Structures are given as C-alpha cells and as structure tokens.
Structure 1
Amino acid sequence: MSTAVVLASSGGEFTPPGAELFDFPPLFAGGPEWLTKPVLMALLGVVVTCALAWSAFAKPKLVPRGMQNVGEMGYIFVRDQVARPFLGKDAERWMPLLLSMFLLIWVWNIFAVVPIIQFPVASHIAFPAVLALSVYFLKIYLGMKHQGPVKYFTNLIPPGLPKPIYVLLVPIEYLSTFVLAPFTHAVRLFANMFAGHIILAFFSLVGYWFLIENPTLLGAPVGVLGVVMTILMTAFEMFIQFLQAFLFTMLAAMYIGSGLHADH
C-alpha cells in the first residue's frame, strides 16, 4: 500500500489510513487514560456474550426453539470441532470456558463490521494477550497439578534420544512451549484483526474520497472499485473473524489438553 494517492485532476491528496485508527483518547475529558472506546467495546462484548448465553440456556426446553436452537448449534460445534479432538473425555468439563471464549472473541471481532462501533476489539494487543496469558498460566497449573511439578517439565522432552541431541532439543522445546506458544497465540488473533481493520478502512475511504469528498470523472471508477472491494472484503473479513475465534479457542483446548496429559 503506497503512502499516498495523488489526484491528478484536482490536486487534492488522498492519505490512506494507518496506525492512527487504533489511537483513542479517554472517553471524556479528564478521564483515566485506560478508559477508551476499545475498553468500553470489550465490556460490551462481555455483556453481549452473557446475554446470548442467557437467552439460549437460561430456560432450556426439551424441544429447542429460537435462541436455544442457535445456542445448541454453537455448543455442538465447539464441542465436536474444538473440545473433543484435544480433550477427549475431559471435553464436557471444559466446555463452559471454551464456548465462552469462542463467543466472546467472535463478538469482539464482529464489532468491526457493526455500524457505528466499527472496531475489532482484538486489534488491540492487550485483549488477546490477556486471554492468551490466562490460557498459558492455566496450562502450566494443570500440568504441574496432574503430572507433578517436576515431571510436567520432563514430559515435554521425548525419551530415548541420544544424549547430545538433548543439548539442542531441550532449549528449543522449552522456548517453543513457554515463550513462542503464548506469544503466537495472542499475536495471530491481534495481527489478523489489525490488518483486516486497516484494509476495510482503506477501501471504504477510497470509495468515500473519490465519489463523495472529491468526485471527478477520472476518479469515479476508482471510487466504484473502492465500494465494490469494501463489500467483498467485508464478507471475507467476517469469515476471518469467525476463523480466528475458532483457531484461538482450538489452540486453547490444545494447550489445556497438554497440561492435563503428557505430550510424550
């Protein structure tokens, strides 16, 4: 993406959106620095997630209808595609956490295409980082509880290899498990939402600039292209929003499973 697009017809300059999209002042003058729109949207996401769960499961019927149908479809999806493949017989026990995590992240992501809100909460690294660190510490706690405080760490290393191999393998395995895994867990979600938000903002601004803000005969096709790409990228971004919620929850289930049971 170039840093600027110059309009040949009018001399005006179009500047594409950048990192300033993610800078928010406090909600009110004199308010705390941390109380910004992303924080408010994160809390709203929690409320929406709780409301969805309550409307689906508060008064379950033998023959599900309405929101209970939707809730049960979501539950079955997370159970069969996320929990059971990695947790086996422990899947049902961890379903409240995994289902809540999946719904919350999905709601946070979908805020990017909701009118007026139009901001994906997970595009601020703090939010996926908190979730990833929570899973990380839970994994270590479960590993030390179920495998023993010493054996948990030794179980990470496959036995029976030549001793010189361990000089290289042990640091790599520990670095991957205790540093890279939680880092990539958070950054994958953050980076996708960050990039997707910039792309949507860019094409939206192209359409607005060339068709409304500074319309010209030569710029009109570019503006139409911007509108078309905005529609297409919005549909694609909605798929990515769902996919990233699924992948984050799937990795969480995998990490919890590695704490409950030895990898080797």
Structure 2
Amino acid sequence: MIVDGLVNAAGGFTPPTVEDMHLPNFFEIGSFGFGKQMLLVLLSVVIVAGFFMLAGRKRAMVPGKGQFVAEMGYGFVRNSLGKQLIGAHHFKPFVPLLFTSFFFILVNNLYGSIPFFQLPTLSHAGSAYVLAAIAWLTWVGVGIKRKGLGGFFKDLTMPSGVPPVLYIILIPIEFLSNLLIRPVTHALRLFATMFGGHMAMMVAAALMSHLAVTVGGLGGWLGSLAPLALGIFLFFLELMIQCIQAYIFALLLAVYLQGSVSEGH
C-alpha cells in the first residue's frame, strides 16, 4: 500500500489520490507510456495461458490437482455462462471468448489483493472500456451476421407484443439503451468497483499509518486499530467483489450474445 507523502507540512492527514494509485510510467516513447498497469496486463496473459497449457499438457483419466482445477474452471464457464445462457445449440463458438474474458478479468482484478502487485489493473478506465468495446463489437457483429442489419436493429429496438403506436417512443429509447448506454455501463461497472474498492483500502491504510506513526503515542496506536479493522474488512470484501465482477462481466456478455443469436427480442 502506498502511504508515503500522506502527511502535509502541518502534520495533518492527507488522503491518497488517483496519482498515488496509478504510478508513473517506467518509460515513455512519445505519447506511449509503459507502466506497472500495462506490465501486469501482459503478465496476466502469461499467467492464464501458462496455467491452462501446463494443466492440459498431460491429460489423464484421473486428473491431478492442476488438471482438475483447470477442467473445473473451463466447465464452469462452458456450462454456467455458455450453455445455460446462450443455449445448447449456439453456445460452442462463444466459449473461448467467455472463457478468456472471465479468467483474464479475474486475474487482473485479483492483482489488487496480492502483496507487491497491489493494483487491480482494470481500475484504469481505459482497460475496462477496451474490454467492453470488444464485447460490444462481438455481440453486435454476431447479431448482424445472423439476422442481417435490418433484422438485428428491428429485433433490438422493436420489442414484440407492443402496440405499434408506441414504437415512436420505444425505438430511440431502445437504440440508446442497447447500443450506447449498454457498453458504457458494461465498462463502468467493472472500472468503478475496482477503482473505488482499492481506493477505500488505500485510505484505510494511510489513516492507520498516520495515526500510528505521525500522531504516535498510546492514543495514536489505539486509534490506528479502527482503520486496521476496516482495512481487513475491506480486503476480504474487495476480494469477493473482484471475483464477482469478473463473473458479472462474462455473464452480461453471454446475455448479450444470447440476444444476438435468439429469434425473438
């Protein structure tokens, strides 16, 4: 946790800022900068790919621990997110995307709870928007390919069973909701929870350090117990949210894909 520089000249408490969480780049080439966040993103690709490749290298009828965990993770995504939501007839082509999305996001979220790493990379808005854009392009592209441009937009903006007179109101609402607001909220839901949860932990850690070190004395040490307890609570809460948000992102992607391949709105 970053706690340096949180005491101002008057000795008062200065809470951490966005700059404290998003560290400077390691190096920059023109407008391109490479920092800890990008390094962790690349590392997550190595972690996910390396684990599943090693786990599946020696496949056996009686799986070892690594193969068992890998098969359980794959089966969870395939069946719970793919087969059950998209449908038994359409889900197979989308399993790799759902699988990759879930485990990639999970690892990048869990960085925030791992000592030394301590940075959920998707607390950067840009990363979350890129993932949401990939998801948006996928389900829109699938819908247009399956139903045609006109059929896709008709199915998306003209719900069945609604009196035609209401379409003049529903069409712009559905268009904005599904094609513009949906990808934004898909990204914001992930970014905001990762950013807010980690910032709350940083505030608790900084306050504990301020009371114990700067204030000092018996009162300071006793006072630091409250933010310590809060920090421990937030740690486990954030750990749970990190897993849930990875699931929710992949879940919503599956729901959107189901709408693209289904016959009705």
TM-score, structure 2 normalization: 0.90
The 3-state SS of whatever aligns with 1:217 is helix
The superposition leaves residues 19-54 of structure 1 with CA deviations (integer Å, 9 ceiling, x where unpaired) of 223443220376764212111111111111111211
Show the counterpart of 1:236. 237
Cα offset, 1:176, TM superposition: 0.8
Show the counterpart of 1:122. 122
Q: Distance in 1 between matches of 2:100 and 2:22?
A: 28
The superposition leaves residues 123-178 of structure 1 with CA deviations (integer Å, 9 ceiling, x where unpaired) of 00111111111110111111111111211111121235323211110001111110
The 3-state SS of whatever aligns with 1:116 is coil
| Runs of at least 5 residues in structure 1 that lack an aligned partner in the other structure | none
Which deviates more from structure 2 when the two are superposed, residues 82-91 or residues 122-131? Answer: 82-91
| CA gap 1:31/1:218 in 2 versus in 1, 3 angstroms | farther
1:144-183 residue pairs with structure 2 within 5 A?
A: 144-156=144-156, 157-183=158-184
Q: Distance in 2 between matches of 1:55 and 1:203?
A: 39
Which deviates more from structure 2 when the two are superposed, residues 83-92 or residues 163-172? Answer: 83-92
Q: Aligned residues, how many?
A: 258
The superposition leaves residues 189-244 of structure 1 with CA deviations (integer Å, 9 ceiling, x where unpaired) of 00000001101111111222222344232222221112222112111110000000
- Residue type of the partner of 2:257? I
Cα offset, 1:92, TM superposition: 3.2
Q: Percent identity?
A: 33
* Residue 42, structure 1, aligned to residue 60, structure 2: no
8 Å CA contact 1:60, 1:68 repeated in 2: yes
Q: Distance in 1 between matches of 2:91 and 2:28?
A: 47
* Residue 247, structure 1, aligned to residue 235, structure 2: no
Show the counterpart of 1:196. 197
Which deviates more from structure 2 when the two are superposed, residues 26-35 or residues 114-123? Answer: 26-35
The 3-state SS of whatever aligns with 2:217 is coil
Show the counterpart of 1:216. 217
Q: Distance in 1 between matches of 2:257 and 2:198?
A: 30
The 3-state SS of whatever aligns with 1:98 is helix
| CA gap 1:12/1:142 in 2 versus in 1, 3 angstroms | same
| Runs of at least 5 residues in structure 2 that lack an aligned partner in the other structure | 1-5
Q: Distance in 2 between matches of 1:22 and 1:129?
A: 19
Which deviates more from structure 2 when the two are superposed, residues 78-87 or residues 168-177? Answer: 78-87
8 Å CA contact 1:22, 1:124 repeated in 2: no
Show the counterpart of 1:69. 68
TM-score, structure 1 normalization: 0.90
The superposition leaves residues 46-88 of structure 1 with CA deviations (integer Å, 9 ceiling, x where unpaired) of 1111112112223321111111111112122222321122211
| CA gap 1:117/1:31 in 2 versus in 1, 3 angstroms | farther
The 3-state SS of whatever aligns with 2:16 is coil
8 Å CA contact 1:26, 1:33 repeated in 2: no
Show the counterpart of 1:52. 51
8 Å CA contact 1:200, 1:233 repeated in 2: yes
8 Å CA contact 1:207, 1:227 repeated in 2: yes
Q: Distance in 2 between matches of 1:21 and 1:260?
A: 44
8 Å CA contact 2:27, 2:33 repeated in 1: no
* Residue 143, structure 1, aligned to residue 143, structure 2: yes
RMSD of Structure 2 on Structure 1 (CA): 2.2
Q: Distance in 1 between matches of 2:31 and 2:148?
A: 43
Q: Distance in 1 between matches of 2:30 and 2:68?
A: 42
8 Å CA contact 1:109, 1:120 repeated in 2: yes
8 Å CA contact 1:101, 1:249 repeated in 2: yes
Q: Distance in 2 between matches of 1:199 and 1:133?
A: 28
| CA gap 1:213/1:73 in 2 versus in 1, 3 angstroms | farther
- Residue type of the partner of 1:80? N
